[in-house]
C-alpha cells in the first residue's frame, strides 16, 4: 500500500519530467492523507492539478475521508462501487512523486523506509480521481487514490512478500493510463510491480512516522535523508 509519499523536486525538475503547466506547489517531504498532491488527469493531460490524497466518491454525503480509499487494489477495482465508475469513465490520473515510504513492523516498532527509482528522479503512480460537489453550496472537492499491486521483492522485504506496493508506471505506460480509448481490462493490465533492479531503498528517521503535529503537517526536508546522515 502507499499512505505516505514525497514530491520534493523543483518546478524546473518537474517541467523536465512532465511538459505540462504546473500550479504553485511547495515541496512535500511527507505527503499524507487529505493533503494536496499533484496529478495529471486523462481529461486535462496538459496541466498538473492539486487534489487531495484520499478519494472521496462523488456520491458521498460529505468530504470526510474514509481511509480505505487511500489506495485501490488493482485486482478488484473494476468490481468496486467506488472505483468501477471511475475506470469506465476514464477518471484516470498520474500521481506525481519522487519517492514513497513503507514501514517495517516485524519487530513491533514502525521502522520507516523510503523507496525511490534509479532510472527517474520524478515518476508517477497510477491513480483514479473523483470530484465531489456539495448539495448545499458551490463547494467542490477533488481527490485521488493510488492504485496498488502485489509487492516486488524490494518492497516485500520491508514488510512481507504478501505486502502491497503502489503501481509505478513506466513512461510508455503513463501515456496508456491516460488513454481515454483504453478498455478497463487493458488499463488494469498496466498495474504491475515495478522492476526490482530499478528501485532504491533506505531507512529514514522515525520522525517521519507522524503525519501532523497539532494539525500542522509534519513536513521536514531531513525526512528523506538516509538514517544517521542528518
Residues recognised as catalytic: 2, 102
Question: Which residues have CB under 8 Å from 12's CB, separation 6+?
Answer: none
- Tally: H helices and E strands in the chain: 5, 15
Q: Which three three-digit cell numbers place residue 144?
A: 485521488
Distance CA 101, CA 5 (A): 6
Q: Among positive and negative, which fits the CA dihedral 153, 149, 8, 13? A: positive
Query: Hey, what's the torsion of the CAs at 111, 199, 90, 138, to 10 degrees?
Result: 40
Radius of gyration of the chain (CA): 17
Distance CA 66, CA 213 (A): 21
8 A C-beta contact, residue 51 and residue 36:
yes
Amino acid at each position: 500500500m502507499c499512505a505516505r509519499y514525497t514530491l520534493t523536486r523543483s518546478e524546473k525538475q518537474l517541467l523536465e519530467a512532465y511538459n505540462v503547466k504546473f500550479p504553485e506547489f511547495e515541496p512535500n517531504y511527507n505527503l499524507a492523507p487529505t493533503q494536496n498532491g499533484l496529478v495529471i488527469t486523462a481529461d486535462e493531460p496538459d496541466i498538473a492539478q492539486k487534489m487531495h490524497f484520499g478519494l472521496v466518491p462523488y456520491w458521498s454525503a460529505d468530504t470526510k475521508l474514509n481511509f480505505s480509499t487511500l489506495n485501490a487494489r488493482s485486482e478488484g477495482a473494476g468490481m468496486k462501487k467506488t472505483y468501477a465508475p471511475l475506470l469506465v469513465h476514464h477518471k484516470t490520473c498520474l500521481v506525481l512523486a519522487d519517492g514513497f515510504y513503507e514501514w517495517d513492523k516485524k519487530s513491533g516498532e514502525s521502522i520507516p523506509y523510503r523507496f525511490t527509482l534509479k532510472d527517474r528522479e520524478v515518476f508517477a503512480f497510477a491513480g483514479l480521481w473523483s470530484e465531489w460537489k456539495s448539495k448545499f453550496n458551490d463547494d467542490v472537492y477533488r481527490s485521488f487514490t493510488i492504485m496498488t499491486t502485489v509487492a516486488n521483492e524490494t518492497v516485500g522485504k520491508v514488510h512481507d512478500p504478501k505486502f502491497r506496493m503502489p503501481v509505478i508506471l513506466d513512461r510508455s505506460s503513463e501515456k496508456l493510463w491516460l488513454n481515454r480509448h483504453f478498455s478497463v481490462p487493458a488499463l488494469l493490465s498496466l498495474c504491475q510491480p515495478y522492476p526490482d533492479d530499478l528501485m532504491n531503498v533506505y531507512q529514514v528517521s522515525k520522525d517521519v512516522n507522524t503525519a501532523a503535529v497539532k494539525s500542522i503537517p509534519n513536513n521536514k526536508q531531513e525526512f528523506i535523508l538516509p538514517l544517521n546522515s542528518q
